[in-house]
């Protein structure tokens, strides 16, 4: 049982994007640089997050990514499922009905108990992930991490985030 390394990248990127101001964005290249990752491959994962509506993307120069909703409403489960897929880790191959003694299909309508037990454990896993909000991750980082890393991280965001053009305003505000 292994998670792809894209999960780590995706969570770190989402946490970094939680630090950008307002509707500013950060380019995939900037994040790849921040974490020493392959830019072209990281884009794949960021794209998965965009497809899952966890991130929003803005094309064009000064474009990039930002969170699609507040960090309080993004969980680690959202990110893990977006990157790893929604299928359970345990895939029941129904080997119970593959032997030479296989019976009529009607004998297997009740679900396999082994599958049920494995899925139950997986539900516990997902529940725990769903309880971990991105905002918690960020808050813990700000509070507990070494101040130097916090400062460096904030400085990077400050330097590389890009304000977006304000949608045309009818100046009657």
Partner DNA sequence: TTATCATGGATAATTTTTATCCGCAATAAG
Partner DNA sequence: CTTATTGCGGATAAAAATTATCCATGATAA
The H-assigned helical ranges of 18-170 are 28-35, 39-51, 76-84, 113-130, 134-144, 147-160
Taking CB under 7 A as the criterion, the residue among 35, 38, 108, 122 binding DNA is 38
Q: CA 127 to CA 45: how far, in whole Å?
A: 23
Q: Looking only at residues 152 through 171 of this chain, which bind DNA when binding is defined by CB under 7 A?
A: 165
- For the chain, the distance separating the N- and C-terminal CA atoms, rounded to the nearest angstrom, is 55
User: In 3-state terms, what secondary structure has residue 5?
Assistant: coil
Nearest approach in angstroms of CB 167 to its own copies is 33
Do residues 68 and 53 make contact, with C-beta atoms less than 8 angstroms apart? yes
Contact between 98 and DNA per CB under 7 A: no
Residue 124 contact, options its own copies, DNA, none, Cβ 5-8 Å cut-off depending on partner type: its own copies
Residue 27 contact, options DNA, its own copies, none, Cβ 5-8 Å cut-off depending on partner type: DNA
Contact between 19 and DNA per CB under 7 A: no
Q: Looking only at residues 55 through 84 of this chain, which bind DNA when binding is defined by CB under 7 A?
A: 57-65
Residue 154 contact, options DNA, its own copies, none, Cβ 5-8 Å cut-off depending on partner type: none
């Amino acid at each position: 049982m292994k998670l792809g390394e894209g999960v780590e990248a995706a969570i770190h990127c989402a946490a970094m994007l939680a630090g950008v101001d307002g509707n500013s964005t950060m380019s995939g290249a900037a994040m790849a640089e921040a974490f020493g990752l392959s830019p072209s491959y990281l884009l794949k994962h960021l794209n998965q997050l965009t497809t899952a509506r966890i991130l929003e993307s803005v094309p064009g120069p000064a474009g990039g990514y930002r969170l699609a909703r507040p960090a309080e409403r993004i969980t680690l489960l959202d990110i893990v499922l977006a990157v790893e897929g929604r299928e359970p880790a345990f895939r029941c191959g129904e080997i119970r009905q593959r032997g030479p003694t296989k019976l009529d299909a009607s004998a297997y309508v009740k679900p396999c108990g082994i599958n049920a037990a494995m899925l139950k454990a997986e539900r516990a896993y997902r529940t725990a992930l769903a309880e971990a909000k991105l905002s918690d991750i960020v808050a813990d980082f700000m509070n507990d991490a070494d101040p130097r890393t916090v400062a460096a991280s904030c400085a990077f965001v400050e330097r590389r985030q890009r304000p977006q053009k304000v949608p045309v305003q009818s100046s009657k505000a």
